[in-house]
Chains A and B, each alone.
Chain A
Amino acid sequence: MGFSITKYLNKYSEASTLAFFRLAFGFMMVLSLIRFVSYGWIDKFYIQPQFHFTYYGFGWIKPLGNYTYLLFFISGLAALFVAIGYKYKLSIITFFLSFTYIEFMDKTTYLNHYYFITVVSFIMIFLPANAYFSIDAYRNPKIAFQKIPSWTIDILKLLLGIVYFYAGLAKLNSDWLFEAMPLKIWLPNNSNLPIIGSLLNENWLHYAFSWTGMIYDLSIPFLLLYKRTRLFGFLLVVVFHILTKILFPIGVFPYIMIVSSLLFFNSDFHKKCLQIISRLSNFSITVFENGKEKIQNFNGIYKTKIVFLTCFITFQLLFPFRYLLYPDELFWTEEGFRFSWRVMLMEKAGYTQFIVTDTKTKENIMINNSHFLTTFQEKQMSFQPDFILEYAHFLHDYYQKQGIQDPEVRVESYVALNGRLSQKYINPKINLAKENETFHHKTWILPFNDEIKGF
């Protein structure tokens, strides 16, 4: 039979699936932004700190003072418009830009699920998600379609599959599988939970959780893909994410994953959900049941779009493997660690004592990190080399302004990783003010002296 790309690109599916996802995604974004604001985190993370850790090449993205609140408001409003499908294209672009800006303001708060949201919202810019059950299509029946190209739904499924599968691959390492690290450190902290609490100190349970977690992540995309195992797969998704929600402080991520995985269900399900919603809101769904297919015009722009998205997906598939280009242990140097779906793999903490030296007088200043950083920033900085470097440059600039001549910045630092005894982390002789951020290996990170085998 063979697989033909042209045939595939001309395959159509019910638009209700994508509309359902748009609605669910939009509302979840609204809720998570409201949650973020209500916890006072804008102030704590973006207004209070006097210094922010930026992403290499994105140093110009900074919090906007009190306008940061406005930024969150714009993002939330855009998410709401995405949900109801009002001025969809503009809304999803606004949401993608504002959310990504927020995410890049300070890498202290880096989370894989923020990156997931960025990637999903970026792809959604290119999808006809307002063809069905949207204000746009309701007001302009010309853009209302009952059927849309299948790839516009499959691309989201593929992305979700990548997240799970790569998270599973990352668990194929000796610390996770043979030492049950870091779960061995984390799980006992919940031993005051009812029923399962007392088990959480058991060593066998740490291994059981590690191995099931790995098998779960690797197999879930396939279980959701095949009709026969789909319901079972979804049940696992629910159980797994609820369990992680109870055990770890991971915010809204479990809910986002649970709702996203509904994407794999048959379009009948999505249509029924939308019908229920429309009945509740006195809004008739029949307008969209026009039997029309959104016939694609394979012109230059459309072809460019397909090629571009193909490249983007290829990039997504390859980017997590960039760590292979770096020497020494990934968990130790963290070179190529972020944006790779490496979730909950490490218990890593550090201790840093920075020393600023005046080149001329040789006078030393011992830095009290809490003068410059919040406790959260200090915690994240202490074990990540790019944070340490950026902070060292901040100290250099700060003390130069204070009149110290050509300040040299050194650090005495220790890091403990996944149940190993702490060891020296950064070469204490190196003047970090003279080192610059690059994509090359940072030679001033001291060797790990151990090996974690696997992905």
Chain B
Amino acid sequence: MKKILLILSLIVIVVACSSNEGENNSDGNNYDRTALLTNWADNIIVPSYINYQTKVQTLVTNTNTFVANPTEVNLQTVRTSWLEAYKAYQYISMYNLGKAEEINLNIASNTYPTNTIGIESNISSGTYDLALLSQLDKQGFPALDYLINGLSTNDASIVGFYATNANATNYKQYLTAVVSKLKTNIDTVVTDWNSGFRNSYIANNGTSVSSSVNKTTNLFVKNFEKDIRTGKIGIPAGVFSSGVKYPEKVEGYYKNDISKELLNVSIKATQDFFNGKHFNSTTTGEGLKSYLDFLNVIRNGQKLSDIINNQFVTIYTVTNTLNNSFSQQVNIDNSKMIIAYDALQQNVIYTKLDMMQALNITIDYVDGDGD
């Protein structure tokens, strides 16, 4: 009897102690999630943001020059800096965290096809607040695409909208407003990362649903599945519309010859993040790959990280056969788009299913009981 009571009281003590488990000390052989998050924050996320911020700043400067002096030469400069910023954006689109999530940076920057009717009505009325949710599809890179590439088929008449058009002032104002909005958005995010968010991001190094590793990895997978596979390839190729193709729903539609370039940059950004590669450097640090390798994740006799990287190689091989313009590719030979879609889809499965399972990262936002 006494022994049993002794055991029962032991239970109480053990349970009481186990419920306030020590938080995340990373000693011994444990995978160091703090090092992982530090590498993500300091060597990948923040540098990508800063690079994007610089590119957007150039875009702002060149736009100001163009607005002050609308010439075809100045329009070209705006276009070049727009494309550079658009490419830099592909490196940050997956970090829909913290401030970026709060201010809808992603939706505001890259919702396509853009709402041209809404843009025109904003311009003619001259009153709009781009911070409103209803305005998210009338701004960002696709809106700029329309404003600098899509107003007319020849450059002289595009310039005309900003020089001789009766509404030229409003056009200039809108172009400036859209570019400024990109800048305020990224400035807000960078400021937030530099003033405390970086530290709280790294400190949140546990394994719960709301932990940084969990959230970032989910966003990584989601970006690859929804924004890259579905948005850039699947929708234009008619995968989601029973074969009805949408050449006008490609990314960079008005410029038209950049959809492949933007796709490839975004895939590169995805792969670099997977490998923990420092931004704009050949150095690699902790990343999903090293996490998988630490856990010694072998599938069919091969490292899962190698399987995923090999699939990226396959993806590049396939996407390189595509036309620079996906609008044209869709019309000329859509089967190549479908092949590209399938290649991307395979890596969606490897990352979303096999990788998430191996890392034990839950996609479940209800913490129910298991058995």
Contact = CB atoms under 8 A, between A and B. Distances in A.
Interface of A: 41, 44-45, 109, 111-113, 185-186, 188-189, 191-194, 197-198, 201-203, 231, 234-235, 238, 242, 245-246, 248-253, 258, 262, 265, 268-269, 272, 343-344, 347, 349-351, 357, 362-366, 374-376, 379, 414-416, 419-422
B300 A421 contact: yes
B1 interface: yes
A375 B364 contact: yes
Contact of B239 (A44, A251, A366): A366
B370 A202 contact: no
B364 A379 contact: yes
A357 B29 CA distance: 51
Nearest to A351: B353
**Interface size bucket, B side?**
35 or more
A414 to B, nearest CB: 5
Given A192-B24, A376-B368, A414 B349 contact: yes
Given A192-B26, A242-B15, A344-B370, 4 more contacts: A202-B29, A362-B242, A375-B363, A376-B368
A194 B4 contact: no
B196 interface: no
B21 A189 contact: no
Contacts of A357: 242
Contacts of B18: 242, 245-246
B11 interface: yes
Contact of A191 (B23, B31, B300): B31
B332 interface: no
Contacts of B4: 231, 234, 262, 265, 269
16 contacts: A44-B366, A186-B360, A188-B31, A192-B25, A192-B26, A193-B22, A194-B21, A197-B28, A258-B11, A269-B4, A272-B1, A347-B357, A349-B357, A414-B353, A419-B298, A422-B349
Nearest to B350: A422
A453 to B, nearest CB: 19
Given A235-B7, A420-B300, A189 B369 contact: no
B364 A376 contact: yes
Pairs A-B, 10 closest by C-beta atoms: A198-B28, A251-B369, A364-B242, A421-B299, A194-B22, A191-B30, A189-B360, A363-B242, A111-B371, A192-B24
Contacts, number: 139
A416 B31 contact: no
A48 to B, nearest CB: 10
A349 B353 CA distance: 7
Nearest to A363: B242
B29 A238 contact: no
B10 interface: yes
B65 interface: no
Contact of B243 (A111, A364, A414): A364
A253 B21 CA distance: 20
B240 interface: yes
Interface string B343-371: 00000111011101110100111111111
Contacts of A419: 297-299, 358
B357 A185 contact: yes
A250 B371 CA distance: 6
B307 A351 contact: no
B28 A376 contact: no
A77 B155 CA distance: 78
A408 to B, nearest CB: 12
Contacts of A198: 27-30
How would you classify the secondary structure of chain B's contact residues: helix, strand, loop or mixed? Answer: loop
Nearest to B230: A366
Question: Which of B24, B240, B371 gathers most chain A CB within 10 Å?
Answer: B371
A99 B368 CA distance: 18
Contact of B363 (A109, A112, A365, A379): A379
Nearest to A242: B14
Given A242-B14, A246-B18, A265-B4, A194 B364 contact: no
A251 B368 CA distance: 8
B206 interface: yes
Contacts of A422: 349-350, 353-354
Contacts of A366: 239-240
Contacts of B356: 349
Contacts of B299: 419-421
B295 interface: yes
Given A191-B31, A421-B300, A238 B7 contact: yes
Contacts of B3: 231
A105 B29 CA distance: 44
B371 A188 contact: no
Contacts of A112: 371
Contacts of A202: 29
Interface in B43-92: none
B264 interface: no
B207 interface: yes
Contacts of B357: 185, 347, 349, 416
Contacts of B1: 268-269, 272
B370 A248 contact: yes
Contacts of A186: 360
A268 B4 CA distance: 12
Contact of B366 (A194, A242, A374): A374
A234 B8 CA distance: 10
B303 to A, nearest CB: 11
Contacts of A415: 353
Contact of A250 (B10, B352, B369): B369
Question: Which of A41, A45, A191, A193 gathers most chain B CB within 10 Å?
Answer: A191
Contacts of A45: 366, 368
B183 to A, nearest CB: 34
A427 to B, nearest CB: 17
A234 B61 CA distance: 76
Nearest to A193: B21
A265 B3 CA distance: 12
Contacts of A234: 4, 7
